[in-house]
Structure 1
Amino acid sequence: MQSEVKTNSEVKPNKGIYRRFLKRPMDFILSLMAIIVLSPVLIIIGVLVRIKLGSPVLFKQKRPGLYEKIFTMYKFRTMTDEKDENGELLPDSVRLTKFGRMLRSTSLDELPELFNILKGDMSIVGPRPLLERYLPYYADTERLRHTVRPGLSGLAQINGRNNLDWNSRLGLDIEYVNYLTFILDIKIIISTIMKAVKKEGVNVVDQAPLKDLDVERSHSDGN
């Protein structure tokens, strides 16, 4: 598989000036500007979520961040709390409304992550923050993905997103860590915007070919 942004996975993790001194200030400035510019959009979406889906407006979940430190990631809520007769939540495909699908397909549900970037939990570009329960299932080299802040978008997201298998997806995360530069970040940001406009590579629910990483790898170990 070839990346749209070509990198060299053989190089050692980049610890240059941009990564050490410039990336975080750029994240802070750009996320603050985005929050200010998009504040009307954030408010309108928040009100619509409250009306259509109820409270809480934000979906919060613990995710591993830089050096596997756990933080709370924010998204707009996209599903209802509908339950069956036993009090169990209905499947995601049932609880996901038309409005929620629109939020996901346009990636508008991820706008609250701008506050995670402002706080320093995340970066604009980096490996996507995955579930906390996946931590024991990474190979040693794959743990390098946590030597940078997780991102709103990353190399894997512009090269197939949820359509990638886990080895390819995590491999691209490591490729990003190895080749992290200002130019690469700019290319990923531009490509992300283009794909969001075209709605490319977005799986809303129950469409991704992937099993959960812990399920896939625990099953493989069992064999």
Structure 2
Amino acid sequence: MLLLLAPVAALLALVSLISMGGPVLFRQERSGLHGQPFTMAKFRSMNDARDAEGRLLPDGQRVTAWGRFLRRSRLDELPGLWSIVRGDMAFVGPRPLLPGTIASLGERGRQRGQVRPGLTGWAQVNGNTLLSLDEKVALDLDYVRNASLGLDCRIILRTIAVMIVGEKRTGEAAMIDPPSRRLH
């Protein structure tokens, strides 16, 4: 798949370079299987705009029009195919999070790391940015408990739909009960 999509990736890289300048890729350390760190790459979607004191502006103010297109279409994730080839990621699984975020999740972070992180996942096709972190983690843990080839195929098909029509909060997201809302 990486070879088949290489021309598309090259075109996206060229447009990114022309529209935002370099670097074309955003790289960041993320937590992989069993918490092992790895470097994930995505096409860059934000500029480095700063305020008068030299601090980076909030993310929402730095995302470019091209970056919004890349994010909405999920094409910013195309360099993640290299992480799949290296064995750091799978096509489907919980999205890789920052090591600090995983650590802050405690036992839920450890459980989430029992499967290889994915290019797409259950939380991404059930609302993604429309969900709270607790809701995403609850969906991720639901995936870890119920992972199967059938569920992976369903997630891949729904990912294609999200790429075409955009994100929406689904019924599955509403059915998940995040631990922070449970009565003890």
Count of equivalent residues: 170
Does structure 2 retain, via aligned residues, the 8 Å contact 1:142–1:174?
no
Which of the pair has more CA radius of gyration? 1
5+ residue gaps, structure 2? 170-179
Rounded Cα–Cα distance in structure 2 between residues aligned with 1:198 and 1:165: 21
Does structure 2 retain, via aligned residues, the 8 Å contact 1:79–1:100?
yes
Percent identical residues? 44
5+ residue gaps, structure 1? 1-33, 203-216, 218-223
Is residue 2:49 matched to residue 1:98?
no
Q: Secondary structure at the match of 1:75?
A: strand
Rounded Cα–Cα distance in structure 1 between residues aligned with 2:22 and 2:12: 13
RMSD between aligned residues: 1.7
**C-alpha distance after superposition, 1:82-109 (max 9, x if no partner):** 2223222222222221111111111111
Does structure 1 retain, via aligned residues, the 8 Å contact 2:46–2:67?
yes
Q: Which residue of 1 aligns with 2:135?
A: 168
When normalised by structure 1's length, the TM-score is 0.71
Shift of 1:142: 4.2
Q: Secondary structure at the match of 1:79?
A: coil
Q: What does residue range 103-142 of structure 1 map to in structure 2 within 5 Å?
A: 103-142=70-109
Is residue 2:151 matched to residue 1:188?
no
Q: What does residue range 207-218 of structure 1 map to in structure 2 within 5 Å?
A: none
Q: Which residue of 1 aligns with 2:3?
A: 36
Shift of 1:190: 0.9
**C-alpha distance after superposition, 1:41-87 (max 9, x if no partner):** 10011011111111111000110000100000100011112222322
Rounded Cα–Cα distance in structure 2 between residues aligned with 1:92 and 1:164: 17
Query: Against the structure 1 CA distance between its residues 160 and 36, is the aligned structure 2 distance closer, same or farther, given a 3 Å change threshold?
Result: same
Equivalent position amino acid for 1:148 in 2: V
When normalised by structure 2's length, the TM-score is 0.86
